Amino acid sequence: MSRASGPGPGWLLFSFGMGLVSGSRCPNNCQCQAQEVICTGAQLTEYPSDIPLNTRRLYLNDNSIRFLPAMNLGLLSDLVYLDCQKNLIQEVMDYTFVGVFKLIYLDLSFNNLTLISPYSFSMLSNLVQLNISSNPHLLSLNKYTFANTSSLRYLDLRNTGLQTLDHAAFHNLITLQTLYLSGNPWKCNCSFLDFTIYLIMSPLNHPDEQNATCLEPTELAGWPITKVGNPLRYMCVTHLDHQDYIFLLLIGFCIFSAGTVAAWLTGVCAVLYQNARRRSSEDEAEDELGQSVEASRRIFQSRVESGQDGFPQLI
């Protein structure tokens, strides 16, 4: 801001105030204009001081910065665009981005990240584009890493050391459109199954899916992870170990013995039923006998009653 050069003590005081609010200087080797600070390739070995506080876009790419100090970064509360591509940043901590909650674009590609602590991005609910590609020493991401970045649309996870991802990490990424996953040594074991199913079910773009392939196990090596869901499910669901076999044997034995007992019970019931039927039909036969005796007695009686006719009237 050119006001810093204004004359008089009043101006000095004013410019001091403005210096705190909007910043009045520009870091060495950088260009500052219209809320934009460009330090691209400025041979910085650490985060520059004197960045105007009203900066909205900050380019720190192509330097040798090892560390992002949360205190200094947090002063830039209007920052929406931060490019840290091609530096030597090793760690991103929970509080690193606490103050820059308006951030929309964050590029951490081509660094030397080994750790992104779980709540690093938890204040970045406006973040639309996140690039952490080409960090070959980054071996894992916590499942809470993206818990609060619900505006994310582009996520670049290419060329890292990631072997696996927890599908729960993607639960809150409801606006995610494009996901880059190539160049990672994906280990397609059964823990990976849920994530591969998520990839099948979700309508994401995978521009690099041909190169996002399983490295392990050997049976699945070369399979695109966007397509490995079904074979992996087959492998994991039908895979049986010792305990499963014992369990199945026990189940089989139980079913067999239950069947035997059931058959025996059915047999017993059948025999009992038949016996009961036979007895009841004998009773009926006896009954019929009784009835015919009765009938003949009636005939006899009627013959006696009807007198000389000789023929009973009933017949």
Ligand X SMILES: *[C@@H]1O[C@H](CO)[C@@H](O)[C@H](O)[C@H]1NC(C)=O
Point out which residues bind ligand X (CB under 6 A).
Answer: 85, 88, 109-110, 112, 114, 119, 122, 125, 131, 133, 137, 147-148, 154, 156, 163-164, 182, 187, 189-191, 208, 210-211
**Angle at Cα 194 formed by Cα 189 and Cα 195, nearest 5°?**
85
> Cβ(99)–Cβ(73) under 8 Å?
yes
CB of 249 to ligand X, least distance (A): 24
CB of 220 to ligand X, least distance (A): 12
Query: Hey, what are 96's tokens?
Result: 């690193």
Task: For ligand X, give the closer residue by CB, 24 or 182.
Answer: 182
Give the C-alpha distances (Å, rounded to integers) separating 152 from 58, 94, 104, 170, 226.
20, 18, 9, 10, 20
SS3 category, 137: coil
Q: In what order do the strands lie in the sheet with 129-131?
A: 31-33, 36-38, 57-59, 81-83, 105-107, 129-131, 154-156, 178-180
Going by C-alpha positions, the residue among 213, 202, 163, 147 that lies closest to residue 179 is: 202
CB of 53 to ligand X, least distance (A): 22
Over its C-alpha atoms, the chain yields an Rg (Å, rounded) of 43
Q: What are phi and psi of 77, to 5 degrees?
A: -75, -5
Task: For ligand X, give the closer residue by CB, 1 or 197.
Answer: 197
Task: For ligand X, give the closer residue by CB, 142 or 148.
Answer: 148
- Strand duo 36-38 + 31-33: pairing: antiparallel
CB of 29 to ligand X, least distance (A): 21
CB of 92 to ligand X, least distance (A): 14
Task: For ligand X, give the closer residue by CB, 22 or 189.
Answer: 189
| C-alpha–C-alpha distance, residues 74 and 214, integer Å | 39
Q: Which residue is nearest to ligand X (CB)?
A: 122
Query: Hey, what are 220's tokens?
Result: 């699945």
| C-alpha–C-alpha distance, residues 134 and 179, integer Å | 14
Task: For ligand X, give the closer residue by CB, 35 or 126.
Answer: 126
Task: For ligand X, give the closer residue by CB, 109 or 184.
Answer: 109
Task: For ligand X, give the closer residue by CB, 4 or 88.
Answer: 88
Could you tell me the end-to-end alpha-carbon distance of the chain, in angstroms, rounded to an integer?
A: 138
CB of 245 to ligand X, least distance (A): 19
**Residues composing the chain:** 315
CB of 242 to ligand X, least distance (A): 16
